[in-house]
Structure 1
Amino acid sequence: MAELLKTSAKRLRKAPLSAQFGLLVILLYLVMAVFAGQLAPYPETQVVGESFAAWGESFWLGTDNLGRDMFSRLIYGARNTLGIAFITCLLAFALGGLLGLLAALRGAWVDQILSRLIDILMAIPQLIFALLILSVTGTSALSLILVIAVLDSTRVFRLTRAVAMGIIVQDFVEAARLRGEGFFWLALREVLPNATVPLLAEFGMRFCFVFLFISALSFLGLGIQPPLADWGGMVRDNAVLITFGDITPLLPAFAVGLLTVAVNFVVDWLLQQASGLQEG
C-alpha cells in the first residue's frame, strides 16, 4: 500500500498543470458533496429571507425566488447532482460493461442479439426517450437513476465490446481459453486489466454527460425535484434575474462548466498514461 501511494504521488507530481488543476477542482467538489451539511451556512430547504435578496454579509450570494440561501443551495447541489450522477454512472458501467464483455467473449448469436437491441435503443434520441419514460414512470430519484443508467449503458456497451474485441485476439487470451478458463476468468483476469485505461477515461466522459443530462432534465422540470437543490433547477428558478443584469443564475451553470472542464483535463491525462497490454 505504501509503495502504491508513493508511486501515485510521483505520478501526480509529474502530471501536467491542467491535470493537477482538474484533480484539485474534483477534490473541492467532493469535499462540498461530502461535507455539505457542515459547509453550508443554512439548511438546504429553509427560507431565510425575502425573495431575491442581494448579495451581502448575511447571504453571500443572495437568495433565490423563495428566499432560500443561494450559497447553501449551491453547496447542496454538488451533493445531489454529483451523487446521483455518480451512482448512475456506476450502474451504467456495470450493465453496459457486463453486456459488452459477454458479447465480445461469447460472440455468435449472443453478440448479434445484444448488438441489435443496443442499436434500437441508440436509434432513439436520448433526451426524447428520457422525457417520455420519466413522464410515465414519474420523476423520483430512483426512476431518474434507472432510466439514465439504461440509456447510458448503450454507449458503455459499444466501447467495452470494441475494446474487448481487440484484446481477445491476443495470444495470452487464446492460451487462457485453451487452458479451459471460463467467462468470468477471461473477463476479470485477461480482458479487464487491459481495458482499464480506456474504460476509466470513458467513465470520466460519461460522468460529465450524465450530470449535464441530469441538470438539463432538472431545468426542464423532470430531473431532481424540489425542494432538493440542483444546479439545473437553480438556473431555471432564478433565470428572471438575468434580465436585471444579475449573474446569480449563472453561478450554478458555471459550477457545471467548471467540473466538466476539470474532468476532461483528468481524462486527457489518463489517456496519456495508457500502457501496453498486460498478460494475466
Structure 2
Amino acid sequence: MGFAASVTLGLAGLFALAWVLRAGARALLTGHSRSIASDMPLTAAFGLLVIVIYAFVAIAAPLLAPFPERDIVGTQFQAWSADHPLGTDRIGRDMLSRLIYGARNTVGIAFATTALAFVVGSLLGLWAALTGGWLDQILSRFVDALMAIPALIFSLLLLTIFGTSVLSLILVIAAVDATRVFRLARSVAQGIVVMDYIEAARLRGEGAWFLIRREILPNAMAPLVAEFGLRFCFVFLSISSLSFLGLGIKPPTADWGSMVRDNATLITFGDVTPLLPAGCIALLTVAVNFVVDWQLYRASGLREATQ
C-alpha cells in the first residue's frame, strides 16, 4: 500500500472512530453533557479525538517509544524495517521514537507558551478596558508599537539577544503573542464594562480584581477560549518554524520542526520520512481549528448541522 493510500485510510479510520465515540456519547450521556454531544459536528469530534491522542502520546512518550529519545541505535538514514518502523535519521537515531518524543516537546512547549501569553495578555487587556484613562492609553500604544513589527522577525531578534534556551523560547514567543491576546481581551471587555451590572458592582464598592474575576471574565470567556485555540496553533507553528530555522528547540531534544530540517535530504530520493513530522504539525493544527470553529458556533448561539 502506498504512502498516500495509508494516510487516507488512517484519516478515514480516525473519522470513523470519532463518529462511533460521538454516537456513544449521545447514547450514554445525560443532561447538559448530552446536549453538547448532540450539537457536536463530526469535524469537532474528530478534532477532539486527535487532541486526546496527541495528549496521550505526549504524556506516555517514554512508554510508547521503542528507543530513548537521544540514543544512536543504527546507521544514518536506514530504511523502514521491523526494528525501525520509520527508519533512522541523519545520525542514526530512531525516527519513530523521536516523533513520539517530539509530541511531548513541541506540543508541551507550545501549550505552556500559549498559556503564559494568554494569562498575561488577557489580564492586562481586561484591566486596561476596566480602568481606562492614561493606563489604557499607555498599554494600548505600547502594544500597537510591538504589533507593528512582524512577529517572526521580532522573535528572531529577541532570541538572538537572549539566547535559544527553552525558557527564552517560551518567554519570547509568549511576549510576542500576548500583544494579540491583549487586543482581543480589551476589545471584548470594552463592550462589557458599560453594562448595568458592572455599574451596580462598582456602586457596591467592588474592586477591580472582583470585577474582572466575577463579572467581566465569565462573560468574555467564549471568545477568549476560541482565541486560545487559534493562538495555540500560531504558537505551535511559530515554534516549529523557529526550530526549522535553527533558533527553536535545540538538539538533541526531539522537535518536529528540526526533524524536518535534519532529514530534508531524503526528499530528493523520494523518501517521505521528512514529511511525517510536518504531517503531525498539520494534523494537530487542523484538529484544533475544527474544535475552535465548533466553539465559535456555540458562543454565537448558532447550531451547526451534525452529520
* TM-score bracket relative to the smaller structure: over 0.9
Q: What's 1:18 paired with?
A: 43
Helix, strand or coil at the partner of 1:273: helix
Helix, strand or coil at the partner of 1:274: helix
- CA deviations on 1:49-85 (whole Å, 9 max, x unpaired) are 1100001101111100011111110010000001111
> 1:267–1:5: structure 2 CA closer, same or farther, 3 Å change rule?
farther
Q: What's 2:122 paired with?
A: 97
Q: State how 1:13-162 maps to structure 2 within 5 Å.
A: 13-162=38-187
Taking the aligned partners of 1:42 and 1:101, their CA distance within structure 2 comes to 47
TM-superposed deviation, 1:8: 3.1
Greater displacement, 21-30 / 92-101: 92-101
- CA deviations on 1:165-200 (whole Å, 9 max, x unpaired) are 011111111111111111011100010001111000
- CA deviations on 1:126-174 (whole Å, 9 max, x unpaired) are 1111111111211000000000000000000000000000111111111
Q: Which amino acid aligns with 1:269?
A: W
TM-superposed deviation, 1:14: 3.3
**One of 267, 271, 292 as aligned partner of 1:246:** 271
**One of 7, 12, 32 as aligned partner of 1:7:** 32
Helix, strand or coil at the partner of 1:117: helix
Instruction: Give the TM-score normalised by structure 1.
Output: 0.95
**How many residues of Structure 1 are paired with residues of Structure 2 in the alignment?**
273
Instruction: Give the TM-score normalised by structure 2.
Output: 0.87
- Runs (4 or more) in structure 1 with deviation over 4 Å come to none
Q: What's 1:191 paired with?
A: 216
Pairwise CA RMSD of aligned residues? 1.3
Q: Which runs of 5+ in 2 are unaligned?
A: 1-28, 302-307
TM-superposed deviation, 1:7: 3.0
Taking the aligned partners of 1:80 and 1:230, their CA distance within structure 2 comes to 6
- CA deviations on 1:105-140 (whole Å, 9 max, x unpaired) are 000101000000001111111111111111121100
Q: What's 1:165 paired with?
A: 190
1:271 paired to 2:296 = yes
Identity %: 67
> 1:50–1:39: structure 2 CA closer, same or farther, 3 Å change rule?
same
Taking the aligned partners of 2:258 and 2:112, their CA distance within structure 1 comes to 20
Taking the aligned partners of 1:36 and 1:8, their CA distance within structure 2 comes to 31
Q: Which amino acid aligns with 1:129?
A: F
